[in-house]
A and B are shown apart, each in its own frame.
Chain A
């Protein structure tokens, strides 16, 4: 893949804490993410999921502890680590003033992809947006944007894929096809981390479930079974709104 100088098949999160003054977002979180596994990151709002995601996405640094992509940290690896990283954030990372095709082309070029035109075509087809390729993203529904944003995040075939609430705004059919897509990526050896409120959708999908509560790991379940009951017991409510 582009003769990438760096690849890894494991992400090690070791004793990661993050605090703002006396408010703590994460406390000594230690988890390992492996290639070919889908990990669910679960927990109520304010549990520290998004803080952990932005640390993994190299946008924030831990106050203490470290994250290693294979053997290197984000700081040591720099662009080489980011090249292997795909993120689908809640805010989607799309320019509404550009068309679907332009968004993909822009990011494809930013990632220095050799076959950017053909990859863009394939990605548009997978998102079911070939017909709308030259329409501005501002006119798209949430579901269409969500599908496009996923393809944008996967355009450079990242090793580590971080998905923040990827099922938001998707209809049942799209949600099921996303589940299939993630299963396929697992088969290709991707490291997938997904946060979601929809436990039923991911129940059969996850290889590992991390439940965060108040910034700490309440449990790591592996293999995953009876996720909903387990979650309710740990978090103390069924509130999966």
Chain B
């Protein structure tokens, strides 16, 4: 398009938006604290269902971890976009002279950063509470968490952004998000479970491959559809 549409400018705008989100969040820490606390509540609630005679049942740890990630991620997505809605600042971002998908990318990076911080607390805690061996394949675990979080947030950011002008957006976000992200949840839970059960990493590699593929497909699709769904 114009010179303002160059690739460097695209990433610069995304970076500016992410940095703005991080600055705002560092000041209030509202989303971070509430989301992290909510994630811990999830762990606690599920612990009562999956712990028998003091020990977690088989594969429960990875399931609880990913449920906590998905639930708290939904909360973070909702709050992040509620912030952009109150003063209609999302409109201001959409009116900026940049390609509009850059706004999507910026918001996505912000959400991923937030979820990563929550996971940094959550993962050791789950390891501790359920005797899950998080240290046996740390690289694979980190990569599963990264690709899974990116996939979940990639779909979630688009949906939360487009629901900003819908009625009953609070309930509609999980309604739309969970069915679509089921492959991410399955891959995350099963991949992590093979790592936790102490087996070799072959299966985890396969799940990782699927997650990478999912991320590529859905980020591409979201960048492609963002402007069309955001313009009324």
Contact = CB atoms under 8 A, between A and B. Distances in A.
A touches B (Cβ under 8 A): yes
Interface of A: 5-6, 54, 57-61, 78-80, 82-83, 85, 87, 89, 91-98, 102, 106-107, 109-112
B20 A106 contact: yes
B175 interface: no
Given A96-B87, A106-B16, 19 more contacts: A57-B95, A58-B94, A78-B1, A79-B96, A89-B88, A91-B86, A91-B87, A91-B88, A92-B87, A93-B92, A94-B89, A95-B89, A97-B23, A97-B24, A98-B23, A106-B20, A110-B13, A110-B16, A110-B98
A94 B94 CA distance: 14
A80 B13 contact: no
B95 A61 contact: no
Interface string B132-149: 000000000000000000
Interface string B98-130: 110000000000000000000000000000000
Contacts of A94: 87, 89
B231 A59 contact: yes
Contacts of B5: 78-79
A95 B87 contact: yes
B232 A61 contact: yes
B3 A5 contact: yes
B23 A59 contact: no
B231 A112 contact: no
**Interface residues of B: mostly helix, strand, loop or mixed?**
helix
Interface residues of B, number: 29
Contact of A79 (B23, B88, B98): B98
Given A5-B3, A6-B2, A112-B9, A79 B87 contact: no
Contact of B87 (A6, A93, A106, A111): A93
Nearest to A97: B24
Interface in B7-33: 9, 13, 16-17, 20, 23-24, 27-28
A52 to B, nearest CB: 13
B91 interface: yes
Given A57-B91, A61-B231, A82 B96 contact: yes
Nearest to B17: A110
Contacts of A91: 86-88, 91
B20 A95 contact: yes
B16 A80 contact: no
